[in-house]
Structure 1
Amino acid sequence: MQKKDLIYPSDFESKIGFDRIRAMLSQKCISPMGIRQVESLCMQADFCKVEVLLNQTEEFRQICLQNLPFPSSHYLDLTPSLKRIKTAGTFLEPEELTDLKVSYQSILSIHVFLNKKGSNGQHLFPALNTIVGEFEPQTGLIKSIETIVDERSTVRNNASKTLAGIRQKKQRMEAEVVKKVSLLLQFAKREGLVADDVELSLRNGRQVIPLPVANKRKIKGVIHDQSATGQTCFVEPIEAFEINNEIGELQIQENLEIIRILKSFADYLRPMVSQLLTSYGMLGTIDFVRAKALLALEMGAMLPQLNDKPIMQWTKAYHPLLYLSHKAQNKWVEPLTITLNEQQRILVISGPNAGGKSVCLKTCGLLQYMLQCGLLVPMESYSDVGIFQRIFIDIGDQQSIDNDLSTYSSHLLNMKFFMGNATQQTLFLIDEFGAGTEPRIGGALAEATLEKLNASGALGVITTHYANLKLMAGKHHGICNASMLFDTTSMRPLFKMKIGNPGSSFAFEIARSIGLPEEILQRAGDTLGVQDLDFDRQLQDLETKKLALEEKELHLKLMDKHFSELVDKYEILHNELEDKKGEIMAKARSDAKK
């Protein structure tokens, strides 16, 4: 199965918000290699692969939490340079040699860090250690580079005897030029050819004397430049001209010798290129895992219990983007606790508009996808998570002008794909199931579709307002209702999902709270019909009674606890009194004997 077949539709990532997670990961990378791995990140359906990826991220998260000195500098990308020198006759520039030295030093330091073992002889970070694998460090590489270039990326004088001789000779001749030109400048000052405060200048890399135009023939030499005003010309004395020409020839010889040295080093390096490219791939992976760990810390993500089967037993799960947004505003996010398993495979979530149904749906899709991309997820660590072979989603406005498709037509095409491809290893997520067309027809089609999906054995979460879908939970094994709680006193959603009962839309109550005329509400109620209106009211009454029962149950538990504490106190007091009684009786008998 191709990676692209694991998810549907093609814009899956943007629909669930993973494109923003990917962008956040890229920002946390410190190398182009890491960013490239973020760009190629995709869902994995193999349990062992996912397990390794999650363990690697968790180990790096622990490294960050413990503030361990992990090497995190000079993550430089030398892969283009190394690939270039595969061709004979090519070479690395001195600056590239310096980058190679410092980045390869980081690679060696990472290798040492990840090879550390505990007192039991086992690696301290076994999952991360698999990244370095059979890495064989080229320990002599750094020293070899240091013999050629210094800290300023300049080729050293002693890189070869020939280079040392050329530079020594050039240095002597440069000193001779400075001496000759300085003497001529002093002569010009004595003769009044230039002002006393005039200094030597540099033009075209050569020492020159600034002379007034009227005196330019007074000193034999070559004119290199003229001032903007045209009153001053810059003359190189003839005595220095010949020497400078020789220096120029020495410069050419120096450049040729440097190129020869660099080519020679490239010849030495070329057999190692393949292994070095592997090492820089490793560096990119480390950068990628580091970014995942930093993102996990930022969003409070943990490593849950991974199972090799499709399951969701999540406790206090958060939508990461919503969590980060609310965190910045010091606002609370209601966590999601959800269970999907063999007995409870499909969850039908209902409740008021803007009550959090779609957020629950997106949370399920985003966290499951993140998990199977090797990312830690924000939920309790004792949560049970599983592996799905495919994830399908139908959410949002999918109207297409190009394909002449309405939103509902696109929805039907998605349902056709879902029914044709769903298996027991599939997770499907459908928002506002059946909406977009005439309600009775839309509800009937949605019910038939849900029956088909239920028969496939797939796990799923859907959101709806349709009563017929809510009633399916009592008729079909594997389908369960869930409701988004609503505070009828303050007339506001609580954004909290509760599994077990369907939810009311609270449409009439919300309309009344915002001031819709009572006669409109009365007319709407008459139009809706007593049966439908009673069903919605029954849902509200059921939820109200359930909340009241839960409150009474909590009250009884507290009273029972209080009663138990009183009994314990009574037993302690009774035992103390019995002990005191025994002491008094013993003392009385003792006194009587006297």
Structure 2
Amino acid sequence: MKTYPEDLFESIEFDLVKQAVSKRAVTERARERIQGLKPSSDFTLTTGDLQEVHEILGLYQSDFAVPALAAEDIKPFLLRLKIQGATLEGEDFLVIKSMIESFNRVHYFFKQHAMRTPSIQDKFAHLAPNKEVPNEIDRVLDRRGIVKTSASAELGKIRATLTKKRAAADRIFYRAVKKYQGAGVLADTQESVHDNKRVLAIEGAFKGQVNGVFHGSSAKATIFFVEPSETLEINNEITLLEEEEKREVTRILRLLTAFVAGYREVLRDFSTALYQIDFVNAKALYALDEEACLPQLVDRPHIALIKAINPVLRDFHKAKKKPVVPLDIQLDTRTRILVISGPNAGGKSITLKTVGLLQLMLQSGLLVTVHPDSTMGWFNGIMADIGDAQSIENELSTYSSKLNKMKYFLNAAYDKTLVLIDEFGSGSDPDLGSSMAQVFLRALNESKTYGVMTTHYNSIKALAGDLPRVENGSMQFNSTDLTPEFKLNQGVPGSSYTYEVAQQVGVDKRLIDEARNLLNESTVAVDRLLVGIQKEKNQLAHQRAQLASRLTELELLKEKQDLKIAQLEDKVRRQSAMNEQQNAMITWGKKFQGLVNEYAEQRNKKGKDEVVGRFKVYAGERANQTQEERQVKKSHYEKQQEKKIKKLTSAPVKIGDRVKLIGSRQPGEIIEIKKDQFLLAIGALTTWATRDKFIPAESLHGDQGTPKGKARGGVKEPEVENAVVATAPKSKQEAVAEKKKAKKSGKNSPNTAKTTQKEGKIVENKAKAKKPKPRKSVPKGPEKSPKEKLNEVAGSKPLKTTPPKKMTGKKKPDDLTPERRAQLEQPLKKVASPATKEAQAPRDTTDADLEKLKAFFGKR
């Protein structure tokens, strides 16, 4: 990629960004590579680098940190391993071992997160962890890099002998110290160590009285150091053994070096992979700290920044606890060049630098500090004229330097170039400089280059409004308190607020008025017009924000009202369905009740058979109607669910949203979005899914199922097996058998829901079923015939009371009240549960009753 001038990185402060990134690298190779970062015009290559950084950043954002990397470079050791017969030191092997273990940890880490880091996997695809080299190094060396005694049998033998000899030498030397101490010839220090040997410290006056080998004296020759003759022989033996130990250690290290040399290519690949991971990891850590992200990318010149932040400016303001105002700016085929005007210190130059810096960062493989919805394209060249470039050495003035740069721009700029010019047209006579700037602006526009320029000249603002593909912009300024707001208004030129700022700082009003009079009236009018436009722009922006806020409130209110209406409609529909079902049940119940009564009145078999035949016809019709109702209800529910799911699967989502797959109850989280694919983390697993495969976690049940016996949005139908219905009275034997069966069933299924009959309605007791109490056994009696049962159902016979047992109270059976006697003599048409102690009012026949009656007639 072509960049100009040579100090572009410094003037746009890209070098400060590279320094910040390099501080987060561990290896020297990675730091050097970061410092050498340059923007690339290769879209495919650089987007691959950006994707790697994006993947590791995603891990950090999900609280997964890359394992610690080995910092020391093993390149010098790899060069020595190439030399035949070379021997590495113990510390060298520890560095190699640390590097291999670091690679093994990193390899395992990215293998665990392979689904989330497909680009990183390419760095490890051809490599496998290595345990042989670390294990062999551990076998030979201890943690300090010293060869272990167990490394070889010979070394163990030598060191065992050395230990004994040294202990013996210490005993002999100690006796010599006692001897000469008693003779009074030792100095206060008594002993010292020279050449790894213990020596006696002899006073200078007695140096001739001690036999041994002289090893030197103190600085003033007052103390002489003598190895006593008693230890000479054993010390010589120790010296010979130490030489043997060194030779054996060297032999072992040479063997270990040869072993490791066999893995030299593997070690080189490991080191390269770690350095590359360190390089990418440093960029990801910088992105994490600066809240940078990967924007939408296009392979053409394009800039659409949303909430862009200059990271250098933010770091500078962070120390002062000052906020940074985000930037929104757009350059595309409709607006290729933006001319920004406004007051000094209003943010024009920062805006220009921010655009250039973020583009350099992106094309160098760094994530940028913008909103993820931003779109950034690719340029083949970035050129800038920022700051004062006058040179004493080259005898160039500020304006000469600007002219030289402008000449270069005109020769080199084309439709894939980004040009940044600060203070366009300045450095010379305002009128002459302005006219030259107008010519340059026309030429740059004809070359179809992209650019951002800042200026104070009204003539350039006017030209920008006339030229196609060129647009004015201004930095927002608070005209009330005369303070900059650092917001870019694209599409409107800005005033420099020269006189307003002068008035604020305290310049005499008389001087300001005099300056106004010196100006051309048209110039003053233009400046006033710009100030007025700026005020109107600010007012419109404020009104637009209010309208947007109100519109959001109204939309939210409308959604709430729509939801209430939908809930009410659903409630009305369910109530209507319930009413229709109840009416149908009442109608059918009356029909079947009539059949029951008619059956009871028949006195011959033919009549009864005719009633049974009609019953079967009615029962079949009712069954078909019930099935159709259920099918319609099910179809309606399925359609409603399809609509709900379609709406939920089309709702916008973003990274971090909690969702769950359709058909699953396990919630998960969106951790990455790649075009139309979404990476979901569900528990310890990750999976890619399209948008139509998952819904928000708080919306519907993941399985989309319907509880048994209940249709959502419909009416719950009573379950026949759990309902208590009116039926013919049973014989004592049947009652006892049913009680035993119920008791047994209650033991086997203690959690089965109970049902009780109350006021003619079936009520489901949803509390946990308690264990039924044991009931007293009832003596069996003769089983009643179907005719007797039918008579009881139809009420053809009055209820007979059992003769009372011996009364213990004063009241006798004949003392019953008339009401009680009438109640007992009343024919029993419907019999409730045996557990019911009080008489109950008649109720309408239900579907469950029909099933019971159908079973009853079927026996016959």
Normalised by the length of structure 1, the TM-score is 0.88
User: Match for 1:272 among 238, 244, 263?
Assistant: 263
CA distance in 1, matches of 2:302, 2:58: 26
The residue identity in structure 1 corresponding to 2:388 is D
User: Match for 2:488 among 490, 494, 497?
Assistant: 497
Please name the residue that 1:100 is paired with: 96
User: Match for 2:43 among 26, 43, 47?
Assistant: 47
CA distance in 1, matches of 2:36, 2:72: 19
**Are residues 1:176 and 2:168 paired?**
yes
Report if aligned partners of 1:182, 1:200 keep a CA contact under 8 Å in 2.
no
- Alignment partner of 2:372: what SS? coil
The residue identity in structure 2 corresponding to 1:60 is I
Report if aligned partners of 2:389, 2:398 keep a CA contact under 8 Å in 1.
yes
Shift of 1:133: 4.0
User: Match for 1:186 among 165, 171, 178?
Assistant: 178
**Are residues 1:163 and 2:155 paired?**
yes
Shift of 1:325: 1.9
Instruction: After TM superposition, list the pairs within 5 Å mapping 1:141-540 onto structure 2.
Output: 141-189=133-181, 194=186, 200-227=191-218, 230-540=221-531
The residue identity in structure 1 corresponding to 2:301 is P
The residue identity in structure 2 corresponding to 1:374 is G
Shift of 1:455: 1.7
Q: Which moved more, 1:450-459 or 1:535-544?
A: 450-459
Alpha carbons of structure 1 residues 55 and 560: separation in structure 2 relative to 1, 3 Å: closer
Shift of 1:553: 4.6
Aligned residues: 567
User: Match for 1:6 among 2, 5, 13?
Assistant: 2
CA-to-partner distance for each residue in 1:134-190, whole Å, 9 max, x for gaps?
A: 224443111122222110111222333443333333333222211221222233345
CA-to-partner distance for each residue in 1:490-543, whole Å, 9 max, x for gaps?
A: 011111111011111111111122222333323322322011111111111112
User: Match for 2:21 among 21, 25, 30?
Assistant: 25
Alpha carbons of structure 1 residues 136 and 477: separation in structure 2 relative to 1, 3 Å: same
The residue identity in structure 1 corresponding to 2:364 is C
State, as a whole percentage, how many aligned pairs show the same letter: 36
**Are residues 1:112 and 2:108 paired?**
yes
Shift of 1:248: 2.4
The residue identity in structure 2 corresponding to 1:267 is A
Q: Over aligned residue pairs, what C-alpha RMSD do you find? A: 2.8
Q: Which runs of 5+ in 2 are unaligned?
A: 569-860
Alpha carbons of structure 1 residues 558 and 371: separation in structure 2 relative to 1, 3 Å: closer
**Are residues 1:34 and 2:30 paired?**
yes
- Alignment partner of 2:66: what SS? coil
Please name the residue that 1:89 is paired with: 85
Report if aligned partners of 1:37, 1:284 keep a CA contact under 8 Å in 2.
no
CA distance in 1, matches of 2:48, 2:513: 61
Report if aligned partners of 1:75, 1:283 keep a CA contact under 8 Å in 2.
no
**Are residues 1:80 and 2:84 paired?**
no
Report if aligned partners of 1:361, 1:431 keep a CA contact under 8 Å in 2.
yes
Alpha carbons of structure 1 residues 184 and 486: separation in structure 2 relative to 1, 3 Å: same
Please name the residue that 2:832 is paired with: none
Report if aligned partners of 1:223, 1:236 keep a CA contact under 8 Å in 2.
yes
CA-to-partner distance for each residue in 1:53-88, whole Å, 9 max, x for gaps?
A: 222222222222333253114322111222233222
**Are residues 1:131 and 2:127 paired?**
no
CA distance in 1, matches of 2:240, 2:199: 19
- Alignment partner of 2:451: what SS? strand
Shift of 1:303: 1.7
Alpha carbons of structure 1 residues 395 and 565: separation in structure 2 relative to 1, 3 Å: closer
Report if aligned partners of 2:190, 2:202 keep a CA contact under 8 Å in 1.
no
CA-to-partner distance for each residue in 1:553-587, whole Å, 9 max, x for gaps?
A: 555666778889999999999xx9xxxxxxxxxxx
Alpha carbons of structure 1 residues 238 and 521: separation in structure 2 relative to 1, 3 Å: same
CA distance in 1, matches of 2:178, 2:448: 100
- Alignment partner of 2:340: what SS? strand
Shift of 1:289: 1.8
The residue identity in structure 1 corresponding to 2:498 is A
The residue identity in structure 2 corresponding to 1:383 is S
Report if aligned partners of 1:157, 1:163 keep a CA contact under 8 Å in 2.
yes
CA distance in 2, matches of 1:194, 1:481: 97
- Alignment partner of 2:123: what SS? helix
- Alignment partner of 1:504: what SS? coil
The residue identity in structure 1 corresponding to 2:403 is L
Normalised by the length of structure 2, the TM-score is 0.62
Report if aligned partners of 1:350, 1:502 keep a CA contact under 8 Å in 2.
yes
CA distance in 1, matches of 2:121, 2:267: 18
CA distance in 2, matches of 1:263, 1:563: 82
CA distance in 1, matches of 2:211, 2:287: 75
CA distance in 2, matches of 1:232, 1:563: 101
Report if aligned partners of 1:94, 1:153 keep a CA contact under 8 Å in 2.
yes
Please name the residue that 1:590 is paired with: none
Report if aligned partners of 2:338, 2:470 keep a CA contact under 8 Å in 1.
yes
Higher relative contact order (CA 8 A, sep 6+): 1
CA distance in 2, matches of 1:536, 1:229: 91
CA distance in 1, matches of 2:209, 2:561: 123
Shift of 1:16: 0.7
CA distance in 1, matches of 2:229, 2:419: 87
Specify which structure has the higher proportion of helix.
1
- Alignment partner of 1:436: what SS? coil
Alpha carbons of structure 1 residues 143 and 570: separation in structure 2 relative to 1, 3 Å: closer
Alpha carbons of structure 1 residues 272 and 39: separation in structure 2 relative to 1, 3 Å: farther
The residue identity in structure 2 corresponding to 1:154 is I
Alpha carbons of structure 1 residues 106 and 408: separation in structure 2 relative to 1, 3 Å: same
CA distance in 1, matches of 2:65, 2:561: 59
Report if aligned partners of 1:33, 1:283 keep a CA contact under 8 Å in 2.
no
CA distance in 2, matches of 1:449, 1:514: 35
Report if aligned partners of 1:75, 1:106 keep a CA contact under 8 Å in 2.
no
Report if aligned partners of 2:88, 2:253 keep a CA contact under 8 Å in 1.
yes
Report if aligned partners of 2:100, 2:130 keep a CA contact under 8 Å in 1.
no
- Alignment partner of 1:68: what SS? coil
The residue identity in structure 2 corresponding to 1:404 is E
The higher radius of gyration belongs to: 2
Please name the residue that 1:581 is paired with: none
CA distance in 2, matches of 1:354, 1:159: 72
Alpha carbons of structure 1 residues 546 and 35: separation in structure 2 relative to 1, 3 Å: closer
Shift of 1:347: 0.7
